[in-house]
Amino acid sequence: MSAPSQHPLLLLREIEQRSKTHAFELPQQLDVRTTWDGLGFRLGNMQVVAAVDEVKEILPLPRITAVFGAQRWVKGVANIRGTLLPVMDLQDFARGAAALPGRRSRILVVRYKGISAGLMVDEVLGLKHFYEEEFGAELGEVDPAYARYLRGAYRQEGETWPVFSMAALVDSPEFMQVAAA
């Protein structure tokens, strides 16, 4: 180190030089990629994904009490922690063919514009993460009965995941017509 009588400006330059000599390099700038998170589920043979913020809860099949005078696809109501939840068979609604509930069947709870509904699906496939650049308008081969509720698709590792819009489903006038004619 220099003698204490050294001029302060020279001392500062010497400290600066030593600091530069022993300094670590800054980390490299990494490219940040934006992701989209969805919940994968199966409707018959078709796998789809819905935005995670559109599905509030996933339930095993609860005990359902039938509601007389309702559409066939309205399976009834279930008591979920003291709240009555209408349960709909999504396949029966869209395709007119009732799903066969199995051990993998689940209820997706949707809350949108003050409306709560439980949607019965064949299987929940888990949380899916996609990069935004994997999104496209091309749906691939999909069941035409669901096409009006699909908003593009993600392609990842050779698989196509159409995006099912719960908002489009709940906004459809047919979905709101639960009383049988």
Q: Residue 17 falls within a domain, yes or no?
A: no
Domains of the chain: total = 1
What DSSP line would sit under 110-142, residue for residue? Answer: EEETTEEEEEEESEEEEEEEEEGGGEES---S-
Q: Residue 70 falls within a domain, yes or no?
A: yes
Tokens at residue 9, please? 């400006």
Which band of pLDDT confidence, cut at 50, 70 and 90, is reported for residue 2? very low
Q: Where does 9-157 show beta strands of DSSP type E?
A: 35-43, 46-51, 57-60, 74-80, 83-89, 106-112, 115-121, 123-131, 135-136, 150-156
* Percent of the chain with pLDDT strictly greater than 70: 97
- What is the extent of the structural domain holding 61? 35-176
Q: Residues 10-21: what's their mean pLDDT? A: 83
pTM of the model: 0.80
CATH classification at residue 88:
2.40.50.180
Tokens at residue 110, please? 């949707």
Q: Residue 120 falls within a domain, yes or no?
A: yes
Tokens at residue 42, please? 């199966």
Give yes or no for residue 44 having a pLDDT over 50.
Answer: yes
